[in-house]
Amino acid sequence: MVSRHTRIVEKVQTRLKFRQLRLLVAVGRHNNIQSAARDLNVSQPAATKMIQDMELDFEVQLFDRTNRGVIPTEFGKALIRHGQLILAQVANAAQELDDLNDGSSGRVVVGSLLAASPWILPKAIERLLAERPNVMIKVVEGTNDALMPALRTGEIDMVVGRLPVSRHRDGTAQQKLFDESIVAVVGSHHPLAETKDLSFEQLKDYGWILPPPETSLRRRVDGFFISQDVASPAVSLESVSYLANRALLQTQPLISLMPSHVPEQDVAQGNLAILDWEVPFGSGPVGVSYNAKARLSPAAQALLRALQDIAVDAQSSIVDKDGQ
């Protein structure tokens, strides 16, 4: 007797079309079959028939029909997610073939969190370009809330930065590169820039540049402020842009929290200063996240190796300095 799973797989392999997947994803995006049909330049009855055919083939209800449109069921959400991944992989394959045809040595799209942007990712890209001079590289900056969904749908090959410890881990593989502490950074002319052995009591009345509320670091910041009986900073800016934060710190008496490697160059050049205050929260691993169900392209694998090698080199350098 043929199992239900085998029966569905056989029907899908012989009948499912990419146009149906495109329609499925479009309906999930619009929550409206008419709008999705317009995207694909088909009639609404034809789009409705395509959805019904998929429901028959998969033997589940993909959408709930309401007066305001259609809402994906749990089955629909799962299939939309897989459909996005399939379409992204096909687009990536076409792009990689096009790059190879043009003489490029592959393509990689990497998401960059703040902890990766100043040093490890640029160094890894430099090493990758030395190995593959014609590789096509796209860097997308953002927070985990923006980058991780793109990672799961295949739009991004990997995300480099602070590893999520609770949220955004479903379906992702992680490789730790190193541990990173958090430091409090100010402009070199800040009133507290040269003060030794600071306490939070001396810092709390200044304005702060904080990460957005959706980040794990921000949640720990908020928890710490509350534990110190401070509801919120007197002045609070939310930003993950290092360039914007750097400019603000140089002109305003603000305090910014960031991974310790991020401001190193500006501190060495005298543009910024690290406060003599041990931040009691936020330390954690920096590494690479990638889709556990998708195979990395050769270019992405080469970038991952470069990141790993640079992390090892950096750790060896620290050990050598400690031994001197």
* Parallel, antiparallel or unpaired: strands 158-162 and 284-291: antiparallel
Fold of 103-179+285-323: D-Maltodextrin-Binding Protein; domain 2 (3.40.190)
Residue count of the chain: 324
**182-282 is a CATH 3.20.20.70 domain:** no
Q: What is the pLDDT of residue 101?
A: 64
Q: Is the pLDDT of residue 103 over 60?
A: no
Region label for 270, one of left (φ > 0), alpha (ψ between -120 and 50) or beta (otherwise) = left
Q: What is the pLDDT of residues 137-184, one digit of tens each?
A: 999 988 888 898 889 888 899 999 888 776 656 778 999 999 888 999
Strands 284-291 and 63-66: unpaired
In 3-state terms, the chain is what percent helix, strand and coil (to 5)?
50, 20, 35
Residue 321 has pLDDT above 50, yes or no: no
| CA pair distance 63, 74, nearest whole angstrom | 9
pLDDT at position 262: 87
Percentage above 70 pLDDT, the chain: 93
Q: Label residue 13 exposed, middle or buried (CB < 10 Å: 0-12, 13-18, 19+).
A: exposed
| pTM of this structure | 0.66
- Chain-centroid distance, C-alpha 47: 33
Measured CA to CA, the distance from residue 97 to residue 89 in angstroms comes to: 12
Over 80: is that where the pLDDT of 96 sits?
no
Annotated domain spans of the chain: 4-83, 103-179+285-323, 182-282
The mean pLDDT of the chain is 86
Q: Could you count the other beta carbons within 10 Å of the beta carbon of residue 271?
A: 15
Structure-token pair, residue 255: 């305090």
Q: Do 182-282 and 103-179+285-323 fall under one CATH topology?
A: yes
The answer to whether domain 4-83 has CATH 1.10.10.10 is yes
What are the CA-CA distances from residue 283 to residues 79, 121, 144, 183, 252 (Å)? Answer: 37, 19, 17, 9, 26
